[in-house]
Structure 1
Amino acid sequence: MSALDQLPAFSVGARTMLADEVYGALQQSILDGTVPPDARINAGELARRFDVSPTPVREALARLESDGLVEKLPLRGYRTTDLLDSRQLGELFELRLLLEPDTAGKAAARRTAADVTGLEKEIRAGTSAIAEEDAYRQLSQHDVRLHDLVFRAAHNETVRQAYARTHCHLHTFRLAYTGSYVADTVAEHSAVVAAIVAGEAQQASVAMRTHIERSRDRLLQR
């Protein structure tokens, strides 16, 4: 039995959505460990399993390669990449500590009413998802959205795009996955958002730094 036999059932939607749907199904299966690190991925097998043409599968695999979740092997198809080691994880969090606390401070100074509305809505979504059956999936997506909203509220698109290209959340999720989510993360997000909403730049920066350091420590303990 190959790792692909463990993939969830796939429901074909509109033709224009096929590549997005294949990408989403594969990405989640890699993040939650259904498809483990260093597993071979055969595009033809995926197309047959998902009952789609090869084109959306190729597009999805190209996006996953850009994410750093799969790599193309010459003449052998694709494989899922290895998990981050402790050195790589440390470097990733060094980057986050350089960018995100300052960005949170900027967000507190520059946020608009629309930014505040979006941040508060996202905190409510994260809080309500904790008790859900698929809490990990929902909260991992909440985490991505929350941090992106903070970058948007800082109104520096260059920094936001530079950070997005690291795909850091995808790689840390693979390390953190246990089938549940640490509720402390939502509480830490709430502290960051409260400071941004209040316009407290220094407090927002400190809250973000605390959140990132605690996230790093939780992962290193694993």
Structure 2
Amino acid sequence: MSAPIRRSVLSDDVHESLKALIVSHQLAPEAKLNIDGLARSLQVSPTPVREALARLESEGLVRKRPLAGYTVSPLLTRDEFNDMFDMRMVLEGASARWAAARASGDARALILGSAAIADPEGPHSHASFTARDALFHDHVAAAATNPLLRDAITRLHAHLHIHRLYFPFAETASTSQEHHHIAAAIAAADPAAAEAAMHAHLAAARTRHLAAFDT
């Protein structure tokens, strides 16, 4: 007989399932979340759902109000979106600079290998694009060897993930090319070039995503 699944593993699975539903808008922004209903849908007890929602709250993807329970976080306003990108410029510029200066050889290779975000099996998959793009940025943040910086970047990305439903997928090649410029500078151990490439990428990404506010 196989060993029983540990609660932590189940909670992780529920967290990832709920996060995917939020990012894909199957759980819409500002939707009220019913713990018992989610538990039935995921075929688990309410306990791992509560644990997952607490984690999602810390990541900024859900909100909890007294007596009202959990709701999916709303989409950012244009001003909030610009504020988020201003913070990304500061934090991710630093992460690219420090990664170029501090990364191990294995970390540099990992960043190079994750620069492409095009998925040959699903080029128009929102979930695939989100996962691949987030993974690249997380590899850069991890290579900067500053856990607090990495955590702050992860939290900022949570709101961007929701907006990515509106991403123009014709621009995935541009995003991949920008990632490659960042990765190449990090691989070459050139902090100034890595920071400049990250800033250029984020400026272009901001422009691409702002189109969602004009629809």
CA shift digits 1:84-118 (9 cap, x unpaired): 11111111111111122233122222222111121
Alignment counterpart, residue 176 of structure 1, candidates 164, 168, 191: 164
CA distance in 1, matches of 2:120, 2:168: 9
Report % sequence identity.
34
CA distance in 2, matches of 1:22, 1:221: 32
| CA RMSD, 1 decimal | 2.1
Match of 1:4 in 2: none
Listed as ranges, the matches of 1:11-30 within 5 Å are 14-16=5-7, 17-30=9-22
Match of 1:82 in 2: 74
CA distance in 1, matches of 2:203, 2:51: 36
Q: Any idea what SS the aligned residue of 1:123 has?
A: coil
Alignment counterpart, residue 178 of structure 2, candidates 170, 181, 188: 188
Asked whether 1:48 is paired with 2:16, we answer no
TM-score by length of 1: 0.84
Distance change (3 Å), C-alpha of 1:142 and 1:66: same
TM-score by length of 2: 0.86
CA distance in 2, matches of 1:18, 1:180: 34
Contact kept in structure 1, 2:141 and 2:153, CA below 8 Å: no
CA distance in 2, matches of 1:133, 1:151: 25
Contact kept in structure 1, 2:23 and 2:127, CA below 8 Å: no
Q: Which runs of 5+ in 2 are unaligned?
A: none
Match of 1:9 in 2: none
Give 1:131 shift. 4.7
Give 1:64 shift. 1.3
Listed as ranges, the matches of 1:110-129 within 5 Å are 110-123=102-115, 126-127=117-118, 129=119
Q: Which runs of 5+ in 1 are unaligned?
A: 1-12
Asked whether 1:33 is paired with 2:25, we answer yes
Give 1:134 shift. 6.5
Contact kept in structure 1, 2:167 and 2:209, CA below 8 Å: no
Contact kept in structure 2, 1:130 and 1:139, CA below 8 Å: no
Distance change (3 Å), C-alpha of 1:109 and 1:145: same
Listed as ranges, the matches of 1:207-218 within 5 Å are 207-218=197-208
Match of 2:147 in 1: 157
Match of 1:8 in 2: none
Asked whether 1:61 is paired with 2:45, we answer no
Distance change (3 Å), C-alpha of 1:51 and 1:156: closer
Contact kept in structure 1, 2:75 and 2:162, CA below 8 Å: yes
Alignment counterpart, residue 130 of structure 2, candidates 127, 133, 140: 140
Alignment counterpart, residue 100 of structure 1, candidates 75, 92, 103: 92
Distance change (3 Å), C-alpha of 1:56 and 1:77: same
Task: Give the total of aligned pairs.
Answer: 206
Q: Any idea what SS the aligned residue of 2:115 has?
A: helix
Amino acid at match of 2:107: D
